[in-house]
Each structure stands twice: as C-alpha cells, then as structure tokens.
Amino acid sequence: MSNGILRKDKVAEALGALGKESAVYAPVKNKRGIVEYRELGRTASAKDVRLEGKPDAPPKAIIFPQTEVLLTYQRKEGKFEVTPAKPDEREKIIFGVRPCDAIGIAVMDKVFCGGKFTDAYYKARRDKITIFGIACDGPADSYCFCPSTGGAPAATEGSDVMMYDVGDSYYVEAITEKGEKALEPLRNELGKPTADQERRKEEIVKRSGSGEGFSRRIPAEAIAKMDSSFASPYWDEVARRCLSCGACTYYCPTCHCFDINDERGGERVRTWDSCQFAVFTMHTSGHNPRMVRGQKLRNRYYHKFKYSKDNIGRYLCVGCGRCIALCPASLDITKAISEVK
Amino acid sequence: MMGARNDYLPQIAEIVSITQETPGERAVKTFRVAFKDKGAKMEWRAGQTCMVSVFGKGESMFAISSSPTKGYIEFSVQRMGRVTEKLHTMQVGDEIGIRGPYGNGFPVEEWKGKNIYFIAGGVGMAPVRAVMNYVVDNRKDYGELHLIYGARSSLDLSYKAEIDALERGGAIDVRRTIDIEEPGWVPVDNKNPEQAKFDPATRKFTGFVATIVTAMRCDPENALAVICGPPIMIKTCIASLAKLGWKDEQIYTTLENKMKCGIGKCGRCNIGGVYVCTDGPVFTYAQVKKMLPDQ
C-alpha cells in the first residue's frame, strides 16, 4: 500500500484535490463552538477544518442520516404508487475520522449489512464512502476509553486511509484498496517520508498498542459480571439521575435505532430514535415492556456490551466517551458498568 | 440503483374481501388481499408475519391469519391504534402495502405424527388459525387435534363458520369458552379447575382458557401445545399444562413487540438479545424461559 507525507500547511490544498472527485466531509468548528462534520464547499470551507482532537459529534449522520426519505407514495385516480427514494450516490470522503469513530462505522456496517437482511439504503450510501482516519496518540481527551472496548488510539479498523501526526506533517498511508484509489488525486501533494517521520509514525503505533495513559476504563470482569446482574436493583439506582433525554444515543457513533413514519405529503421517513424515549417500546395497547428509566438504561448498556457481542460479535461501544461528556446528569458509562452489582 | 434487495419497499395489494369477525370498539376484521402486480408472489410458513402499510398512517406488523395451503393471504386485525382504525374504515377495492413475510413461523415439519392442542384467546386466534388450517389440510401427517378457544363473550369469537365446519367435519375436537356466562355455556369453576367434572360432550364453557386446559386434562403424551393470546392467558395456560406434566419444550407460543423495520435493525423488538421480528415470533416455552426477564 502506498504512503506519503502531507504537510499540515498543505491540507487545504489536498482537500481541494480530493474534492474534485468526491464530496468531502471534515470536522469543522461551528458558530457555537461545536466541532462537527460538514461538507466542504457547501456549508464550510477547507480552511475551517480542525483536525486536532476528537470532534464533538461523530460522523454517524453521513453514513446514517438523522432523517431519510425511504419512499414516496402517491394516490393517482384512487390507486397507490410507491417509489423508492433514490439514495445519495455521490462518492464521499470523510476526512479526519478518529479511530473510535472509524470502528463505529465498521460496527454500523455489521448492524446494517450483516445478519439475515441487508439494509439497501445504508449499503448504497456506504459503498460510496471512503474513510480517512487520523490516529490519536494516547487519549484525545479525559473521556476516552477505547482500549476497554477493543479499540486503540491508532487502530486502523474502519479506515481506508490512515493519517499520523508526525510534527509539521501527516504521515499518510493507504489501508485498503479503496483507500489506495482515494489517494490517487493526492499523488502530487504527498512527499516521501524521511527516516525521522517513519520513526515517529512507528512510535505512535507502538504507544497505541500499550493502551497507556487512559484514566477511564471498563474492566473485562465487570462486563462479565453483567451476565448475572440483569435483575439487580442496581440499574434502577444508576438510572435515578437519568433524564431520558437521549443525548447519549444521539451522539453515540454506534446507536442506530430508528423509527419509520408516514409524513404528510406522501413521504415515508426514517428518523433516528432513542431507546431512552418513553414510547420507544410502547405497544398500541399501552403495554410497555421497558417503561421505567432503569429498564431503558439497562437495555442500552446490555445492548452495547452483551446482546451485540452475541449477535454481531462486538461491542456496540467504541469508547469515545461522548455520552459521558454530554450527559446533563453526569452519568458515566464506564463507572456504571465498572461498579455493576 | 440499489444493489441489495430493498426490504422496506411494500408491494401494493388490493383488499378483495372483508369479514367482520367480532363487533364493537375493539372489533376484529379479516382482510383478504391480492397483489396488484399479478407476477408478485409471496411464499410463507404459518406463523410468519407481514408489515402492512396503510399509506399516510404508517405500518404495523400482523400475523398472516390464513394458511399457506389456502392460496390466499389474509390478516385478521383488531381495531386498536392509528393504522388499524384506518384499516377498519377501508372497503373492498382499497389498496394497502405489504412487505414480508418475516420471522420463523411454526416448525410444522417437526410436529409430524404428534397430537396437537391449539390454545387461543381473543385475537391470538389469528396465527393459530393459520397453523391449525395448515395442519388440518395435511391431516394425515398429524395425530389427534384439539382447539381450545376463548374470548370475552360468544360474540368475540372469530372465524365462527370456519371453525364450526372443521368441527362438523370431525377434523378437530373444538372447545370454546367465554368469560361471562351466557345461556347454553356451561360454567366451570375457575378457582377449582382440578375438581371440575369434564363432560366430553360439552363444547361451550364459561371459564378461563387455563381452567378448560386443566379441566380437560390435556395429555402431554406424544403431544405439543400452541398457545397464543393475551400474556396473562399464556402464563396461566402454561401453568395449567405444567401441572399436567407437560415439558417446556412441548409448548409453543408467539411473542409480539413494537416493530418498525421487521428485519432486525431498528432495535426495539428485542427481549434481551433476541429479536422477535427475525428470531421469532414463534418460540418454545423452553426458549422463552432462557430469555432475560425483559418484557
């Protein structure tokens, strides 16, 4: 696989070159100071891109939009006609994705394209998306705990191209065939790495493997203990503070639960939903199998660490820590799982 | 265009007949439907479900209430919420959308040679009707057949003519039961079902379904039971069968939960790690017992 050096002062130019063939999304600081992914040339420009640190929101909405028309239905002379919505088939690059978020995308791929059914809308969009990951060197901030969930600061899983911060430049490396192809427009932008840059990159990879420097963690024993804690009153205790606002699910790179509704004007629309909302599981009869906060929060934690492990072979948590950073009630998933009784 | 099959896309179907099964605010109607596209085909197993679209109102998951042996597709729907209220105002010739079938269905192949007790309450008769008709249409493959069917009143029993005909034809032993006594419906003491004298000639009872199960002394020998109905009925019937020596593996039931996608993605019909839409809706009681107490 090819590699090269991209000088930090040449990033905007490189984004411009990539943008000639693909729509490019990258982390940008918005007016309220929130760093989120924006499409360059549309709602942000290459000079606003901010590659330091972990964006406040994951790139989830690009692979799985918050609202999406699935189909339209029209009544013509008393007869219905159903037309599937055309998926957005543009080639897209998501640039500067942190390893936790890239793994999040790999996990979403398993959810939507694995098992007995493939989600056609997700797949059509996803097939056209290339991920430019960017390695962390240790925790990006105090909320990070990726080594506890099978990740690492410089993990390449989910990325097609990987970038390493080696001082005044990024060491850029193709990880997949898709990434190899995506680097073609950058042939003139990428320099040859020096021995020092090679060494620096290797050091990042080495430190990443050690998993050191993280103040938050979830011990494997605690996750194992969940097997016998389902009926424990502990979950009600933990959830006492929960406001059921759903912020944790909206900002989670892997929370994928959705609703489907018919809207006025003949559109059937899929929207993000949250297992923390009151009517999420409510039957038409009024019966609700997960009615109280303890049941709802417990479902989220068990889905993340137990059910998904059984069903798709991995945790539905990537250790990004956004749910901790953003919870208005200061709920901490690492603490909640670690102290399971 | 899209590479993978689009599982969210419904086929347009026309309502070709409507049968008013039960009256009232919570009425049940059976809708027979036919695909508009003459080339469209659906193969299904009894116990499977479909996502039914009432355009403008949304989708709901229903059991297919007709047996695949009949060659027509029917849904028996209780008037309950937004989608079903609209459905109940629809007429022959109106169009709905259908996608599916979903779920596992009943393992009718494994059941060959067995005696079967079909036990149903209320609109829970819908999936039971599908599998019961399948078994009756393959009568020689199965042993003795029994139906114990309960509802609040005699008016709340669905498929009257059809079940009467099966009974008259001798294909199946039928016992009906209602909650509130009506003339001609023999009361059985819900408090002491074990002491109840069970007259084999009696066909119409007043008493809980679980009471009739106990009073009849359903025999577990080379048998299985299919129980569908309200949760409390399922629970009490299982307790009745357990007392009669039935094993958990011999008891089948169907579960239901709120569903949006039907294909294991939307994340709401799970009971623990089990997805009712794709892993179910048919489970043995042994399987249900293994599930986390998440319902």
Distance CA(A38)–CA(A19), nearest Å, equals 13
Are A144 and A263 in a shared domain? no
Which pairing describes strands B49-54 and B145-151: parallel, antiparallel, or unpaired? unpaired
Are A85 and A202 in a shared domain? yes
The pLDDT of residue A31: 86
Task: Looking at the complex, report in whole angstroms how far the Cα of residue A33 sits from the nearest Cα belonging to chain B.
Answer: 32
Are B30 and B153 in a shared domain? no
Return the exposure string of A316-333: e unless at least 16 CB atoms fall within 10 Å of the residue's CB, then b. Answer: bbbbbbbbbbbbeeebbb
Are A170 and A292 in a shared domain? no
Query: Residue A320: which domain range?
Result: 220-338
Are B198 and B230 in a shared domain? yes
Which residue in chain A has the smallest CA separation from B85? A284
Are B248 and B130 in a shared domain? yes
Mutate one of A260, A267, A276, A279 to test the B interface: name it (highest B CB count within 10 A): A260
Is A117 in Cβ contact with B263 (below 8 Å)? yes
Q: Give rounded-to-5 percent helix, strand, coil for chain A.
A: 35, 20, 45
CB-closest option in A75, A82, A262 to B9? A82
Q: Return the closest-CA partner of residue A94 out of A68, A57, A145.
A: A57
Is B2 in Cβ contact with A120 (below 8 Å)? yes
Contacts of B114 (CB under 8 A, 6+ apart): B142, B143, B222, B223, B224
Q: Write the DSSP assignment of A100-165 as a string of letters.
A: HHHHHHHHHHHHHHSSS---HHHHHHHTTEEEEEE--SS-SSTT--GGGGT--TT--TT-SEEEEE
Are A274 and A162 in a shared domain? no
Q: 10 Å Cβ neighbour count for B125? A: 28
Within-domain flag for B294: no
Mutate one of A107, A118, A279, A309 to test the B interface: name it (highest B CB count within 10 A): A118
Task: Looking at the complex, report in whole angstroms how far the Cα of residue A206 sits from the nearest Cα belonging to chain B.
Answer: 36
Within-domain flag for B236: yes
Distance CA(B248)–CA(B239), nearest Å, equals 10
If phi > 0 it is left, if psi is from -120 to 50 it is alpha, else beta; for residue A211 that is: left
Each as own residue / partner, the long-range contacts of residues B197-203 (CB below 8 Å, 24 or more positions apart, any chain) are B202/B175, B203/B167, B203/B174, B203/B175, B203/B176
Task: Looking at the complex, report in whole angstroms how far the Cα of residue B8 sits from the nearest Cα belonging to chain A.
Answer: 8
Are B25 and B56 in a shared domain? yes
Q: What is the DSSP letter of B68?
A: G
Contacts of B66 (CB under 8 A, 6+ apart): B32, B72, B73, B74, B129, B130, B133
Tokens of B49: 């479900």
CB-closest option in B97, B275, B295 to A82? B97
Q: Is the pLDDT of residue A127 over 60?
A: yes
The mean pLDDT of A24-53, rounded to a whole number, is 92
Distance CA(A107)–CA(A114), nearest Å, equals 10
Q: Where are the beta strands (DSSP E) in chain B?
A: 11-22, 28-35, 49-54, 58-63, 73-78, 95-102, 115-121, 145-151, 173-178, 186-187, 204-206, 223-228, 251-254, 270-271, 274-275, 282-284
Q: What is the CA angle B138-B142-B148, rounded to 5?
A: 100
CB-closest option in B5, B58, B293 to A261? B58
Mutate one of B96, B270, B290, B295 to test the A interface: name it (highest A CB count within 10 A): B270
Distance CA(B101)–CA(B44), nearest Å, equals 6
Are B147 and B225 in a shared domain? yes
Q: Of B77, B102, B127, which residue constitutes the final position of a domain?
A: B102
Within-domain flag for B69: yes
Within-domain flag for B290: no
Is B60 in Cβ contact with A261 (below 8 Å)? no
The pLDDT of residue A108: 97
Q: Return the closest-CA partner of residue A262 out of B266, B5, B52.
A: B52
Residues of chain B found within 8 Å of residue A302, distances taken between Cβ atoms: 272-273, 292
Which pairing describes strands B223-228 and B115-121: parallel, antiparallel, or unpaired? parallel
3-state secondary structure B203-247: CEEECCHHHHHHHHCCCCCCEEEEEECCHHHHHHHHHHHHHCCCC
> What is the tens place of the pLDDT at every residue in A180-201?
999 999 988 899 999 999 999 9
Distance CA(A260)–CA(A258), nearest Å, equals 7
Q: Which of A282-296, A312-326, B60-74, B118-132 has the lowest mean pLDDT?
A: A282-296
> What is the tens place of the pLDDT at every residue in A225-271?
999 999 999 999 999 999 999 999 999 999 999 999 999 889 999 99
The pLDDT of residue B174: 97
Cis peptide before B281 (omega within 30 of 0): yes
Residues of chain A found within 8 Å of residue B290, distances taken between Cβ atoms: none
Residues of chain A found within 8 Å of residue B80, distances taken between Cβ atoms: 284-285
Distance CA(A123)–CA(A112), nearest Å, equals 8
Q: Of A180, A210, A240, which residue constitutes the final position of a domain?
A: A210
Are A225 and A205 in a shared domain? no
Distance CA(B179)–CA(B153), nearest Å, equals 6
Query: Residue B159: which domain range?
Result: 115-254
Which pairing describes strands B28-35 and B11-22: parallel, antiparallel, or unpaired? antiparallel
Q: For A169, list phi and psi in degrees, rounded to 5.
A: -145, 165
CB–CB of B223/B250 below 8 Å? yes
Q: Of A160, A189, A210, which residue constitutes the final position of a domain?
A: A210
Within-domain flag for B108: no
Number of domains in chain A: 2
| 3-state secondary structure (DSSP) of residue A81 | strand
Q: Of B69, B102, B135, which residue constitutes the final position of a domain?
A: B102
Distance CA(B187)–CA(B279), nearest Å, equals 39
Are A91 and A43 in a shared domain? yes
Q: Is the pLDDT of residue A6 over 60?
A: yes
Are A232 and A258 in a shared domain? yes
> What is the tens place of the pLDDT at every residue in A79-94?
899 999 988 889 999 9
Are A83 and A124 in a shared domain? yes
Query: Cβ of A114 under 8 Å from any chain B Cβ?
Result: no
Are A165 and A19 in a shared domain? yes
Is A116 in Cβ contact with B264 (below 8 Å)? yes
Is A87 in Cβ contact with B294 (below 8 Å)? no
Task: Looking at the complex, report in whole angstroms how far the Cα of residue A271 sits from the nearest Cα belonging to chain B.
Answer: 10
Distance CA(A100)–CA(A205), nearest Å, equals 15
Within-domain flag for B37: yes
Are A163 and A226 in a shared domain? no
Q: What is the DSSP letter of A238?
A: H
Are B248 and B171 in a shared domain? yes
CB-closest option in B55, B256, B292 to A262? B55
Within-domain flag for A203: yes
Amino acid at position A175, single letter: I
Is A124 in Cβ contact with B3 (below 8 Å)? yes
Within-domain flag for B240: yes
Query: Cβ of A326 under 8 Å from any chain B Cβ?
Result: no
Which portions of chain B are predicted below pLDDT 50? 1
> What is the tens place of the pLDDT at every residue in B143-167?
999 999 999 999 999 999 999 999 9
Within-domain flag for A215: no
Number of domains in chain B: 2
Per-chain mean pLDDT for chain A: 95
Is A119 in Cβ contact with B4 (below 8 Å)? yes
Residue window 69-98, chain A: list those with CB within 8 Å of chain B. 70-71, 73, 75, 79-82, 84, 86-87
Which residue in chain B has the smallest CA separation from A110? B265
Sign (positive or negative) of CA dihedral A26, A27, A32, A33: negative
Residues pairing with B33 in the sheet? B15, B73
Mutate one of B268, B271, B288 to test the A interface: name it (highest A CB count within 10 A): B268
Within-domain flag for A323: yes
Query: Cβ of A224 under 8 Å from any chain B Cβ?
Result: no
Q: pTM of the entire structure?
A: 0.94
CB–CB of A121/A258 below 8 Å? no
Are B75 and B189 in a shared domain? no
Are B39 and B129 in a shared domain? no
Query: Cβ of A322 under 8 Å from any chain B Cβ?
Result: no
Q: Please report, for the domain that includes residue B43, its CATH number.
A: 2.40.30.10
Query: Cβ of A115 under 8 Å from any chain B Cβ?
Result: yes
Within-domain flag for B131: yes
Return the exposure string of B134-171: e unless at least 16 CB atoms fall within 10 Å of the residue's CB, then b. Answer: bbbeeeeebeebbbbbbbebbebbbbeeebeebbeeeb
Residues of chain A found within 8 Å of residue B25, distances taken between Cβ atoms: none
Distance CA(A166)–CA(A259), nearest Å, equals 43
In whole angstroms, how far apart are CA A224 and each of A146, A315, B19, B101, B106? 18, 13, 53, 37, 34
Q: Return the closest-CA partner of residue B52 out of B108, B90, B3.
A: B90
Are A113 and A173 in a shared domain? yes
Is A281 in Cβ contact with B258 (below 8 Å)? yes
Are B120 and B247 in a shared domain? yes
Which residue in chain B has the smallest CA separation from A227? B292
Task: Looking at the complex, report in whole angstroms how far the Cα of residue A32 sits from the nearest Cα belonging to chain B.
Answer: 32
The mean pLDDT of A133-139, rounded to a whole number, is 96
Q: For A10, list phi and psi in degrees, rounded to 5.
A: -110, 5
Are B90 and B168 in a shared domain? no
Task: Looking at the complex, report in whole angstroms how far the Cα of residue A256 sits from the nearest Cα belonging to chain B.
Answer: 7
Within-domain flag for A101: yes
Q: Of B56, B71, B102, which residue constitutes the final position of a domain?
A: B102
Task: Looking at the complex, report in whole angstroms how far the Cα of residue B262 sits from the nearest Cα belonging to chain A.
Answer: 10
Q: Return the closest-CA partner of residue B63 out of B121, B102, B107, B116.
A: B102
Tokens of A130: 């290339």
Contacts of A142 (CB under 8 A, 6+ apart): A215, A216, A321
Is B292 in Cβ contact with A281 (below 8 Å)? no
Distance CA(A257)–CA(B261), nearest Å, equals 10
